[in-house]
A and B are shown apart, each in its own frame.
Chain A
Amino acid sequence: MNAIDPRIHQALDGEISRDSLPPELRGTVDRLETVAALLASAPAAAGLEARVMAALRRPAPPGAGARRLVRWLTTPHPVTFRIRPAWSLALAAAVALLTLVPTQEAGPVLGEHEGIAQFVGRFPDARSVHVVGSFNDWRPGTIPLEDPDHDGVWRATVVLPTGAYEYMFVVDGERWVPDHMVDRLVEDDFGRENSIVIVRTARR
């Protein structure tokens, strides 16, 4: 392979200025940059959002066995038969529908002025996480978040009257942490920031 002048690599890696190169080397740098720019011109929009979201909206299989089957079907395998990935997705969705047993978990009945608030926080080393706010009179310890699969992501889903509430997370019973994953933050007048959750009516 013909090695090119190392200064061309240095210029392309931003280690030296392009202008410091002699004209013949600058031409090579420009040529590679032109090629990169051409290749960077975006292909026509693939419209993946509708396609992927439609697949995700289909009901999930109820059991781990079914999940494994779907995973197997949606993951390309080097053995047995070859199918186009697009077809494998469609086939997986069809199998998921066929094997699905609708869940009939009742859950709470929501009133006209009630909605669902979902709290999520990433606390990889936490032993416990609670959410405390104006919805529970700032009473610590009443609404725990859970991390059943121990992936460090803690969640709680709570029925609340509709409206806006301020809250914080309490980690390990003592560390107060705002929910930095939301955009709505407000000063708490004690030197920190509360997060705001707006609970909307679930009956629409």
Chain B
Amino acid sequence: MDVRGGPSDQEVVARVLGGDREAFGLVIRRYETGLVRFATRMLGSRDAAADAVAESLMRAYRHLASCRDPSRLRTWLYRIVANRCKSYLARRHVGDVTLEEASPVADSTDNEASLERAEQLALAARALAQLSSEKREAFVLKHVEGLSYQEMAAVTGVRIPTLKMRVHRAREALLRALEDHA
């Protein structure tokens, strides 16, 4: 059973495979926030991220039977979104996001604290946007999405030592980028 209560991923997958299409809404609600955040950080654009995740979820629905281990539905979904982001970036022929797209919109409740936070986020997003897509992916999966190296390997299909190396390089590059922007 899922720790948050409600049906487990296995059960939800079984319901969908059994023809209960609406149960897939649960999958979306459960993972949408993380997937959109991951895609936003990868693509630097919320609109593009929403498109990429929407496509990925439709793909996941169509190929749900090929998710061999529904208890690992989360990493399976991240894998589909990661691949979709790669395709999107490749199609743009640019590995990096543009600075304009990386700029977050300030919170609508425009007070001093939220403006400062928006500025800090903009700075962090710009620094992240300067990383190569591989390093960005490694950093975001590890530190933003909080995946273990094992889960990251399942998402990316890359060996753990290589992933560790990418995360280390990403941290170093991010610190340098932050210093440049500071």
Point out residues on A near B: beta carbons under 8 Å.
1-4, 8-9, 12-13, 28, 31-33, 35-36, 38-46, 48-49, 51-53, 55-57, 71, 74-76, 78, 82, 84-86, 88-89, 118-122, 124, 149, 151-153, 155, 157, 179-183
Contacts and interface: CB of A to CB of B under 8 A. Distances in A.
Contact of A31 (B37, B55, B175): B175
Interface string B29-61: 100110011001100001011111111011101
Contacts of A122: 14, 70
13 contacts: A1-B173, A48-B32, A48-B36, A48-B54, A49-B32, A51-B54, A52-B58, A53-B24, A53-B25, A75-B59, A78-B90, A89-B58, A153-B17
A43 to B, nearest CB: 5
A160 B29 CA distance: 32
Contacts of A124: 68
B105 to A, nearest CB: 9
A9 B7 CA distance: 37
Contacts of A157: 18-19
Interface centre among B7, B28, B33, B174 (most CB of A within 10 A): B28
Given A9-B168, A36-B144, A52 B173 contact: no
Contact of A76 (B10, B21, B91, B121): B91
A155 B58 contact: no
Given A51-B54, A74-B58, A84-B51, 18 more contacts: A1-B169, A4-B172, A35-B127, A35-B174, A38-B117, A39-B121, A41-B121, A43-B46, A46-B32, A53-B24, A82-B91, A85-B55, A85-B88, A120-B15, A152-B68, A181-B8, A182-B14, A183-B7
Interface of B: 1, 7-8, 10-11, 13-15, 17-22, 24-25, 28-29, 32-33, 36-37, 40-41, 46, 48-55, 57-59, 61-62, 65-66, 68, 70, 84, 87-88, 90-91, 117, 120-121, 124-125, 127-128, 139-140, 143-146, 164, 167-169, 171-176, 178
Nearest to A154: B17
B176 A2 contact: yes
B164 A43 contact: no
Contacts, number: 161
Nearest to B28: A49
B172 A3 contact: yes
B52 A85 contact: yes
B19 A118 contact: yes
A151 B33 contact: no
Contact of B143 (A32, A44, A45, A76): A32
Contacts of B117: 38
Given A4-B171, A43-B36, A85 B54 contact: yes
Contacts of A46: 32, 36, 46, 49-50, 53
Please give me the 5 A-B residue pairs with the lowest Cβ-Cβ distance, nearest first. A181-B14, A36-B143, A118-B18, A120-B18, A85-B51
A75 B175 CA distance: 36
